Structure 1
Amino acid sequence: MENKKEEIECIENTKDVDMVQIINMFSLLPDVLFWIKSSRHCFVYANQAFVDHVGAAKLDDVIGKNDFDFAPVHVARQFIQDDKKVLAGACVTDRFEINQSNNGELAWFTTSKRPLKDKQGNVIGTYGITRHLQKTSTTLAHINAIKTPVEFIRLNYQKAITIEQLAQIAHLSVSALERRFKKYLAKTPKQFLTETRLEQARKLLVETSLPISSICFCTGFGDPSYFAKQFKCFFGLTPSQIRKDNYLDINKHRPNPDKYSV
């Protein structure tokens, strides 16, 4: 019992420990991106893996900047929206995402975010980790369970796709396919297909000058009205608003992250 008491006292005394030495341990994890942001979404710390991932030369090139300095506008805006939810007290845990790796290729990642609190419990920022799952063998089973239908959607979202078709190529029943998507992605195959199309549409809106109607059809939506409704529901803005707000020369007109509300 005496040993247990001593251990508890040791844990309680960690408030006097220099936390920087613990934070620096994340630099020993090359497959984990770790960062800390202020309440204004500016980076105040990142490990070396994160620095390398965003293409910076050193940590000093990251501190004080935000996601708009390193990511495409449509991606940075989503990061900021996530941060605002976390600042409000929400937590993100092991969310599966398909994003760009530092070599420009699409890859699987899992992301977790938490509110950063001071000793009084006030939220003063956010912190999080992202893992590149192709490099994390313990999590690959989760990916492989839905890999075939997900890759089919990513490659063929422009075409008409049915849930029955996805189930067939995955060698599963429709109900089994639905269960796997809900288990590993927390969404149905139809939701994943729609969100994939919407993400591609948003990318085209901010990176090209294609007419909105053309973007609608080339991302797999057959009805412009339905497309606009789904887009507004998912992103909170209409396609024309996204284009107006984000079709910028990011090097000259970097958006203010505080303008993006949840």
Structure 2
Amino acid sequence: MNARFGAELALAGLFDYLPDVYLYVKDRESRFIAANQSLWKMRGYESESEMLGKTDLDLHPRYLAERYMAEDRQVMESGTPLPNQIWLVPSQPGELKWFISSKMPLKSATGEIIGIAGVMRDLEKAKSAATSFDAFEKVVNFVLRNYEQPLRVNDLAAMVHLSVSQFDRRFKALYHMTPQQYILRVRLHAACHEILASGGTVAQIATRCGFYDQSYFSKQFRKHLGISPTDYRLRYQDSPGQLSDSLGLAPLLPS
């Protein structure tokens, strides 16, 4: 099977020279068929071969793995890349960190989609060479550190000296979602973590994650996760094992 991915597997070795980038290649069943050194080491393996053939269900808590694999299917079914998506990813036992993940479908010589390739960047460490992306990364990090606070798009636009319409257009081009959708996505990711890592009520979790209306929180959670917050806890309560209490990033450095 791996012969079908020959060029992709040959190029994967180049990513061993980019320690802040995590590369993987998966087949149609979301089984890993290539991973760079940064990724397999982060997953706790001694070599790439130990990770190959496994899926996210073998590597991650089920509540995260099922969503990663659902996104894989989305990319393969649509046949289009999905860049710069924000995800919580286990980096060490008990620790979740914010990553930017980009995926693209892989096609055979006949045009058949045979898998995906993806890269991830740790938002706490990553520095982009592109000035335009650096500016928006500042906004992304601000939201990740302040998602529990009221956030206004016009304030975010002002951070990068753009009008709201310019900001909205450029943000959507980079992240394939509007700023409002990004804020909601971050808050829902944080809520998923809180539901499983804490014993808080739905109302308490909603407030801690920036939702000031429990009904709205529950509605959005069900819309995007396909399940209520209470049922989510029941389904995955044995999944995460040891989870850290905080999703905070290191303090922002002076610019």
TM over 0.5: yes
Within the candidate set 62, 71, 74, 2:60 is matched to 71
User: Could you say if the C-alpha distance between residues 195 and 20 of structure 1 is closer, same or farther in structure 2, counting changes exceeding 3 Å?
Assistant: closer
- Give the aligned residue type for 1:67: D
**Structure 2 counterpart of 1:84, one-letter code:** R
Q: Deviations over 1:143-174 (max 9, x none)?
A: 22323332222111111222233233443332
State whether residues 102 and 118 of structure 2, in contact with CA within 8 Å, keep that contact through their aligned partners in structure 1. Answer: yes
Instruction: Say whether the 8 Å CA contact 1:24–1:47 is kept in structure 2.
Output: no
| Cα separation, 2, equivalents of 1:176 and 1:235 | 30
- The structural deviation recorded for 1:61 is 2.0
Cα distance in 2, alignment partners of residues 18 and 154 from structure 1: 39
The runs of 5 or more residues in structure 1 that have no matched partner are 1-16, 252-262
* In structure 1, C-alpha distance between the alignment counterparts of 2:182 and 2:205, rounded to whole Å: 18
Question: In structure 2, what is the Cα distance between the partners aligned to 1:18 and 1:169?
Answer: 46
- Counterparts in 2 of 1:144 and 1:21: CA distance versus 1, 3 Å: closer
In structure 2, runs of 5+ residues without a counterpart are 242-255
SS in 2 for 1:65: coil
Specify the alignment match of 2:100 in structure 1: 109
Rate the CA distance shift 1:29–1:228 in 2: closer, same or farther, 3 A.
same
- RMSD over aligned CA atoms reads 3.1
**1:209 match:** 199
| Partner of residue 8, structure 1 | none
Q: How has the CA–CA distance of structure 1 residues 142 and 240 changed in structure 2, closer, same or farther, with 3 Å as cutoff?
A: farther
Counterpart of 2:178, as a letter, is: T
Structure with bigger gyration radius: 1
Matched, 1:28 2:17: no
**TM superposition shift of 1:45:** 3.2
Count of residue pairs brought into register by the alignment:
232
Q: 1:242 to 1:116 in 2, by over 3 A?
A: farther
Partner of 1:53: 42
Q: Percent identity?
A: 23
- What CA distance in whole angstroms lies between the structure 2 residues aligned with 1:107 and 1:161? 19
Tell me the equivalent position of 1:7.
none
Residue identity in the other structure for 1:191: Q
